Chain A
Amino acid sequence: MTENTMAKPQKFFLPNPYAEPAHLQLQGLACSRGLRLLFEGISQTLKGGEALALYGANGSGKTSLLRQIAGLLPADIGTISFGDAPSHAPSHTPSRRVHFIGHADGLKNALSVGETLVFDAALWGAPKAAGNTNDLLALLGLKNRAWQAVGDLSAGQRRRLALAKLCLAPRPIWLLDEPMTALDEAGQQLIDTLAGEHLAAGGMIVASSHVPLGFATQTLTLGAST
């Protein structure tokens, strides 16, 4: 969190919100979908401030791995643990420590951009310290679009809006499924900035991508062993 980057993000991040958990550990994870084994033997440890980039061909299981970490998909084999907290893998309890941003953005076309932010703040239990809506919109590159219907946004603008909850409710682990998709250069810059702030604050990121991710400290390529 430095003053000289964009200055604005600071308002949306609490001083050090990510004291816990200290790390994210994947041990011997495997996943099968339908009749196909997507991956097995995935072990990886992330500490605060580290980011893991997932690479691999379509259908190699990047999304499934992210969904497993989010607790949306139970791990067939292996464990996922957060810091000293016990593994949640066998019980299929989604973790409240993560934000998951997938291909389906969960945005409601009938709401306006501004309403989306207000609801997001309430739905994710945003702390009162979160900045005001206009600042957040400016940060996301959606300035002056508060009254526009979500249904009228372009694909890239939707991706940007979907990022709002990352800023509104701090959670230590971000799971981003191909975050760069549909984004222009400024949008990709935005992701890099947000990610940088998040990592600097001690957060962790696991992101899948087909393009190299600048903020990644580790990489994992799925489907390479077949």
Chain B
Amino acid sequence: MRVTICIGSACHLKGSREIIAQLQSLVREKNLEDQVDLNGSFCSGNCVNGVCVTVDGQIYSLKPEDTKEFFDKEILGRL
């Protein structure tokens, strides 16, 4: 599964770094390194809301505090 987190200017200011750090540690915790491929991307053109995260082509808007819930639902839920 390919998860792409936008690190463009706007998303950076909205907390991409924190989200990436959380996702990286969650993936490590569950030993999912082989199944979940975390990537960065520059502006995906959806900067108006939260940090733009794409899972297998589907776009989500994330706040750092929602990361755990997002991981459980959208990432674990799809595996």
Mutual binders A and B: no
Q: Which residues of B are at the interface with A, using a C-beta cutoff of 8 A?
A: none
List chain A positions with a Cβ less than 8 A from chain B.
none
